[in-house]
Amino acid sequence: MPADPHSRRPAVGEGPLTRLALIGLAILFLAAFLALPLVAVFSQALAKGVGAFLKSLTDPDALSAIRLTLTVAAIAVPLNLVFGVAASWAIAKFNFRGKSLLLALIDLPFSVSPVISGLVYVLLFGLHGSFGPWLRDHGVQIIFAVPGVVMATVFVTFPFVARELIPLMQEQGVEDEEAAIVLGASGWQTFRLVTLPNIRWGLLYGVLLCNARAMGEFGAVSVVSGHIRGKTNTMPLHVEILYNEYNFVAAFAVASLLALLALVTLAAKAALEWRFADQIAAAKR
Amino acid sequence: MAIEIRNVEKTFGAFTALGGVSLDVRSGELLALLGPSGSGKTTLLRIIAGLDHADAGEVSFDGQDTRDRAARDRKVGFVFQHYALFRHMTVFDNVAFGLRVKKKAERPAEMDIRRRVDQLLTMVQLSHLATRYPSQLSGGQRQRVALARALAIEPKVLLLDEPFGALDAKVRKDLRKWLRHLHDDMHITSIFVTHDQEEALELADRVVVMNHGQIIQVGTPAEVYDHPADSFVFDFLGGVNRLNGVIEAGVARLDGKAVRVDGAVGADGPAVIYVRPHQVELGVAPAEGVPEGKWSARVSSLHAAGPVARLELDLAGRALEAQLSRDRLSDLALEVGSWCTVDFRHARVFPAKS
Amino acid sequence: MTAAASTTATKPARRGWAFLAPTILPGFGTAFGFTLAYLCLIVLIPLGHMALRAADVGWDRFWAITLAPRVLHAFYISFGCALAAALINAVFGLVVAWVLVRYRFPGRRLIDAMVDLPFALPTSVAGIALTAIYAPNGWIGALAKAAGFKIAFTPLGIVIALVFVGMPFIVRTVEPVLQDLDAEVEEAAASLGATRWQTFTKVLLPAILPALITGVALAFARGVGEYGSVIFIAGNIPAVSEIVPLLIVARLEQYDYAGATVIATAMMGVSFLMLLGINFLQRWTRSRHAR
C-alpha cells in the first residue's frame, strides 16, 4: 500500500489490520449506497437491450422532457449566476449592518423542503392562489405551466453560485480591487479585469453545481408542473411517470441520461478541484 | 509634491485610529511613518491615498484639498503590503495595467505603453521576467514588480505600506539600499510605513514616530534617535536600559548617587532613567570601595561574537545591558563573575508612570 | 519638533450609526439592491405569503389539522427517519472521511469524487434506483426477504434513502477538519502513553465533534424535507411509511390548500426550532473544545 501522510510518523497511525478493516468498511458502505444504485440504473435501462433503450429515449414525450429540462436550466442558471455575483460582491467586498442576516437568508432555500418550495408558488399563482383569479382573467398561466417550473427551479437552486463565491471573494479580500482603482481603473474595469479573472473557476464550479440541481430537481417542480406530458414534464418528472406506469425500461433509460449528467458533473467538478483547488476553495493560496 | 495634513481624525467603531493628526510632507523627501501596530500609521497612509476617508480634517496636495478627488484620480502610486499583484496577469501586464485602463483620449498607444513598461522593468531589473506570472517570482521580485506598477502611472507621490514586511532579512537589506538609490534618482515624494525602527532610521530623510493615533515626534533619524521626545520614542527606537530611580530637588539619583542626564529632569518623585547599552561606560574595579559618582556591578553573562561585545550586568539587583568594543573588553579583562565600575555617558530621565 | 495634536476638528466627525462602512469600491448600491430585491421576490415574499395564508386558517383549525393522527405520524416518520439516517451517517461518514484523509490506497481519488454523487444525482433517479435494489425482488431486497424482513415500503427503506442523500454532508464537513488536525497533537498523546483508541476518543474526537455535529445537522435538515428519493422506496402507506412532504403533496392534489399550507408551515416551524437547538449544541461544543 503506498505511503500515507502519517506513515513517516510511526508514533501515530493504526496498525495494518485496523487500517485494512476501516478501508474495507468504507468501501463496502460506499459500494452499497453509491455504486449499487448507479449500476442498477444502467443495468435496468439496458435490461431489454440497446434497441428498447434508444426507443425510450427518442419517444416524443421523452424528447420534449429533455427539451424542457434544458430550457429551464438555461433560464434558471444564468439568473442565479447574476444574483450570485451581485450578492457576493456586496457581501464579500463591503462591510454593512445585517450582513450575517443576509447570509442566513440566502441559505434559506437549502433548509426548505423542495415540496414547500413548489407550494409557495402554488399559493401565490395557482388557481386558488392569491393572484390566481387575476392571472386567469388576464390569460396568464404560471402554475401547471413552464413559468412555474422555472420559478420553482430558481428557488431551489438560488444559493448555489453565491455560496461558492462568497467565501472565495471574502478570502481574496479587497487589496486587488484597491490596487486597480489606485492605478486609475473604473469600477467596471476593476470588476472585469481584476475581480472576474480571480473568481472565474469558483464561478464555473458554482454554475456546475447549480446546473446539476436545476436539471435534476424533482420535488419542487413536481408540485408546480401538473405533469402534463409533452408540455410541463421535465426529465426527472418523466422518470416518475414512466416508473408509475410500470414502464421500467423507459424510466431507467431516461434516468440513465440523468445519471450520466451527474457523472459528467462529478468528473468536471473533480477536474476543477484538482486543477484549480486554490482558486475554488477559500483555502490557503 | 508637498502634502499637508491638517487635524485628520479617523475612528473605527470605538477604536480611535487617528486622533487629530497634522503633518507637513516636503516635496521630494522620503518620509517614514514609524510606530507599533495599531498606532494609526497605515490608516494615515490609506487616507493620503484616498483608500480610506477621514472622519474630519483635510489632506491637501500642493495646497489643493483632496477631499473630492477619488482615489483613481489622485495619481498616487501605492505599493500594498502584500503587493496585490494581479495573479492572472504576467509581470508585463501588471505593470501596463495603469496605462491600459486610462480613458481612450489619455491612453498612450500600445507601442508607447510597451516602451514605457520595458523602461520600468529595466529600472527594477526585471526585464528578463516580463512574461512570468507573480506566483513564479520570489518575494523581492514581486515587491519590485509592485513598485514598477505603481510608478507606471507617473505618480506625484509614492506610498508604500510596510514595503519590506513580508521579506526575509537578507533580501530586506538589499532592497532597502536599492530603494534609497531609486529615490535619490527620481526625487518623488515618498512615504513608507514601517514598524521596524532600524528600517526607518536607515532609509528615511525624516521619521514620523506615531503611537495611539497621535504623532509623537517628527525629525531626522539622528534627531529622533539622539533626542527622543519622550520615553515611548526612547523605548521604541532600539534597545534601552530602564532603571528605577528618583528625582530629588531637580537631580536624578540612582541608589543615592546623582546621574548626569541630558535635557529636562522634571518634577520630584519616582523616575525612570533611560540609557542605551552603548552609552554604558565600564571601568576596572579598584581594589577597595567604589569611586566617587560611579556604580559597581558584576558581570552575569557575556556574549563576545562579532565586533561588539554584549554584557549582562547585575547592578545592585537590576539587570543592565552594556555594549562595548572587543578591544575595550580585552583591556578591561572582564569575565563572568568579575566586578567593574559603571557610569553613564548619556542618559535621560522621565517621571515614572503611575 | 513635535506635532501638536489639535483637538479642534475642521468639520464635525461623522460618527455613530452608519449602514455601510466607508469604502472606495464602487457598485455596492447596485449589487446590494439587486441582491435584496431578488431575494425578496424569489424567497422571502413567497415564504412569508405562505405563513400568512397559514395564519388565515385560524388557530383552532391550525391545531386540528396538525394534530390529526395521520399528520402526527407523518411528522414522527419524517423526523425520526431523518434523525436515524443522520446518526448512521455520523458513524459511517466519519469512517469514510477518515479513510479518505488518512490512507492512500488505489482508487482513493475515484471514491473521493464519488462521495458527491448524492448531490449530483437527481432525487427521482436515486429513488427508483434504490427501490430497484431494496424491493423484495431487488438484489438486496431479495436477500432481506430470504432472511425474513422487508426493507422497501417500510420506514427502514426511508432511512436507507436518507442515508444516501445525507452521506456527503457528513463526509464533506468532517474532511477539512481532519485534514487540518495537527499530527503533533497525536504524537504528543502517544508520547504521553495514550493508546491509539484513547488518542482517538480523548484527543481527536473532541476536535472533530463540532464539524460532525454540523454535518449531522445539515444531513438531518435535508432528510426531513427530502421527497424525491423517498417516495418510491417508502411505499407511502398512511400511518406506516408516509412522510410529511408527501402528505403536503397529497393535500394539494385534493385541492385542500389550507391543509397543505398548515402542514408545510408547521413543518418549517419544527425544522427551524430543531436547527436552532442544534445551533446551540454546536456553540456549546465549540466553546468547550475551542481550538
Predicted pLDDT at A100: 84
| B183 & B276 share domain | no
Residues of A in contact with C105 (CB under 8 A): 1-2, 23
Is A277 in CB contact (< 8 Å) with chain C?
no
Say if CB B121 and CB B95 are below 8 A apart: yes
Residues B231 and B277 in one domain: no
pLDDT band at A6 (very low <50, low <70, confident <90, very high): low
Residues B225 and B323 in one domain: no
Cβ of B82 within 8 Å of Cβ of A175? The answer is: yes
Give the per-residue pLDDT at B79. 92
**Mean pLDDT value across residues A227-235:** 80
Phi and psi, residue A142, nearest 5°? -110, -55
- Which residues of chain C from 34 to 53 reach within 8 Å of chain A, CB to CB? 34-36, 38-39, 42-44, 46-47, 49-50, 53
Beta-carbon separation of A183 and B101 below 8 A: yes
Host domain of residue B78 = 3-235
List chains touching A (3+ CB pairs under 8 A). B, C
Paired with B79 in beta bridges are B160
pLDDT of res. B34: 94
Chosen from C19, C36, C78, C103 to mutate, greatest number of chain A CBs within 10 A: C103
Residue A232: band (very low, low, confident or very high) from pLDDT cuts 50, 70, 90: confident
* Mutation site for A-interface testing, chosen from B12, B79, B83, B88 by largest number of A Cβ within 10 Å: B88
**Do B219 and C14 lie within an 8 Å CB cutoff?**
no
pTM: 0.81
Compute how many other C-beta atoms are within 10 angstroms of the C-beta atom of residue A275: 11
Q: Do residues B284 and B309 both lie within one domain?
A: yes
B178 and B304 co-located in one domain = no
- What pLDDT is recorded for position A65? 87
Same domain, B116 and B189: yes
Instruction: Identify whether residues B66 and B215 lie together within a single domain.
Output: yes
Contact A245, A233 (CB under 8 A): no
B50–A182 CB contact, under 8 Å: yes
DSSP for A155-175 reads: HHHTTHHHHHHHHHHHHH-SH
Contact B56 C3 (CB under 8 A): no
User: Quick check: C140 and C134 in contact, CB under 8 A?
Assistant: yes
Report the number of distinct structural domains present in chain B: 2
Q: Give the residue from A93, A168, A183 with the most B CB atoms within 10 Å of its CB, the best one to mutate.
A: A183
Residues B124 and B218 in one domain: yes
Smallest CA-to-CA distance from B127 within B148, B113, B155 is with B148
Least Cα distance to C228 among C117, C133, C131 occurs for C131
Across all residues in chain C, what is the average pLDDT? 82
Is residue A104's pLDDT more than 90? no
**CATH code of the domain covering residue B210:** 3.40.50.300
B110: left (phi over 0), alpha (psi -120 to 50) or beta: alpha
C 164-203 residues with CB < 8 A to A: 164, 167, 183, 186-187, 190-191, 196, 199
Mean local confidence (pLDDT), B219-247: 88
B15 in contact with A, Cβ within 8 Å? no
By DSSP bridging, strand B214-219 and strand B56-61 are: unpaired
| Partner B contacted by A186 (CB < 8 A) | yes
Query: C-chain residues within 8 Å CB-CB of B58?
Result: 10
Shortest Cα–Cα distance, A60 to chain C (Å): 20
Closest residue by Cα to residue C39 from A213, A71, A98, A84: A84
CB A181, CB A51: distance < 8 Å = no
**Extents of the domains making up chain C:** 26-56, 59-289
Helical H segments across chain A, by residue range = 16-30, 36-45, 49-57, 60-93, 99-107, 114-125, 132-137, 146-157, 160-172, 175-182, 187-190, 196-216, 219-225, 235-244, 248-280
The lowest-confidence range among A210-219, B187-196, C140-149 is C140-149
Taking 80 as the threshold, does the pLDDT of residue A14 lie above it? no
Say if residue C285's pLDDT is above 70.
yes
How high is the pLDDT of residue C83? 92
Closest CA to A36 of B110, B45, B117, C126: C126
C213 Cα to chain A: minimum distance (Å): 16
Residue of A nearest to B93 (CA): A193
Phi then psi dihedrals of residue B157, to 5 deg: -135, 140
Chain C's closest residue to B70, CA to CA, is C24
CB contacts of B45 in chain A (<8 Å) are: none
Inter-chain CB proximity B22 and C12 less than 8 Å: no
Interchain CB contact of B216 with C (< 8 Å): yes
Handedness of CA B273, B274, B277, B283 (dihedral sign): negative
What is the helix (H) or strand (E) element at residue B151, kind and residue range? helix B139-152
Would you state the pLDDT for residue A281?
62
Residues B283 and B314 both lie in one domain: yes
Residue-range domains of chain A with CATH: 64-283 (1.10.3720.10)
**Which amino acid, residue C99?**
V
The torsion defined by the Cα of B228, B231, B233 and B237, in degrees rounded to 10, comes to 90
Distance CA C1, CA A164 (A): 53
**Taking CA atoms, what residue in A is nearest to B148?**
A183
C256-289 in b/e burial notation, b at 16+ Cβ within 10 A? ebbbbbbbbbbbbebbeebbeebeeebeebeeee
Residue B253 has pLDDT above 90, yes or no: no
List strands edge to edge, sheet with B251-254.
B257-258, B251-254, B241-248, B269-275, B348-351
What's the pLDDT tens digit per position in B66-97? 877 777 788 889 999 888 899 889 999 999 99
B248 strand-pairing partners: B251
B97 touches chain A (CB under 8 A): yes
Inter-chain CB proximity A111 and C139 less than 8 Å: no
Check CB contact under 8 Å for A198 and B153: no
C153 neighbors C233 (Cβ within 8 angstroms): yes
pLDDT of residue A280: 67
Q: Are residues B127 and B245 in the same domain?
A: no
Q: B10 with B96, same domain? A: yes
Residue C14 has pLDDT above 70, yes or no: no
Query: Quick check: A61 contacting B, CB < 8 Å?
Result: no
Residues of B in contact with A183 (CB under 8 A): 72, 97-98, 101, 149-150, 152-153
What integer is the mean pLDDT of B138-150? 91
For C10, the closest of B58, B71, B217 (CB atoms) is B58
A203: left (phi over 0), alpha (psi -120 to 50) or beta: alpha
Q: Are residues B187 and B253 in the same domain?
A: no
Q: Is the pLDDT of residue C15 over 80?
A: no
Which pLDDT band, with edges at 50, 70 and 90, does B43 fall under? Answer: very high
Q: Give the nearest chain B residue to A197 (CA atoms).
A: B88
b/e burial code for range B103-113 (CB count within 10 A of at least 16 → b): eeeeeeeeeeb
> Sheet containing B189-194: which strands, arranged edge to edge?
B76-79, B157-161, B189-194, B30-34, B206-211, B214-219
B175 grid coordinates: 532592497
Query: Which residues of B are less than 8 Å from C4 in CB distance?
Result: 22
B169: how many CB neighbours lie within 10 A of its CB? 7
Residue of B nearest to C23 (CA): B52
Nearest by CB to A185, from B49, B101, B152: name it: B101
pLDDT digits (tens, 9 = 90+) for B303-347: 888 888 899 999 888 899 999 888 888 888 888 888 899 998 888
| pLDDT number for residue C7 | 35
Sheet order of strands, B308-315 included: B280-284, B339-344, B295-303, B308-315, B318-325
Cβ within 8 Å, pair C9-B51: no
**pLDDT tens-digit readout, B200-211:** 998 999 999 999
Q: B77 to chain A: which residues are within 8 Å by CB?
A: 182
Going by C-beta distance under 8 Å and a sequence separation of 6 or more, which residues neighbour residue B174?
Answer: B140
CATH code for the domain of B333:
2.40.50.100
pLDDT in tens, B46-74: 999 888 888 899 999 988 888 777 777 88
Q: What is the pLDDT of residue C103?
A: 85
pLDDT digits (tens, 9 = 90+) for C69-108: 888 888 888 999 999 999 999 999 999 998 888 888 888 8
Alpha helices, DSSP H only, in B36-124? Answer: 41-49, 91-100, 110-123
Min Cα separation C170/chain A (Å): 13
**Any idea which architecture C59-289 has in CATH?**
Orthogonal Bundle (1.10)
pLDDT mean across residues, chain B: 88
Residues within 8 A of A (CB atoms), B 23-62 only:
49-51
- Render the burial of B247-266: b for 16+ CB within 10 Å, e for the rest: beeeebbbeeeebebeeebe
Answer whether residue B139 shows pLDDT above 70.
Answer: yes
Q: What's at A71, amino acid-wise? A: T
Quote the pLDDT of residue C136: 78
Task: Give residues 253 to 272 of B whose Cβ lies within 8 Å of C.
Answer: none
| Average model confidence (pLDDT) across chain A | 85
Q: How confident is the model at residue B148 (pLDDT cuts 50, 70, 90)?
A: very high
| Mean pLDDT, residues A125-144 taken together | 84
* Selected residue of B12, B86, B142, B149 to mutate for chain A interface (largest A Cβ count, 10 A): B86
Residue A2 banded pLDDT, cuts 50, 70, 90 = very low
At residue A152, the pLDDT reads 92
Task: Assess whether pLDDT exceeds 80 at residue A230.
Answer: no
All residues of chain A having their beta carbon less than 8 Å from the beta carbon of residue C81 are none
What chains are in contact with C, requiring at least 3 Cβ pairs below 8 Å?
Answer: A, B
Task: Name the 3-class secondary structure at A211.
Answer: helix
What pairs with residue B312 in β-bridges?
B301, B321
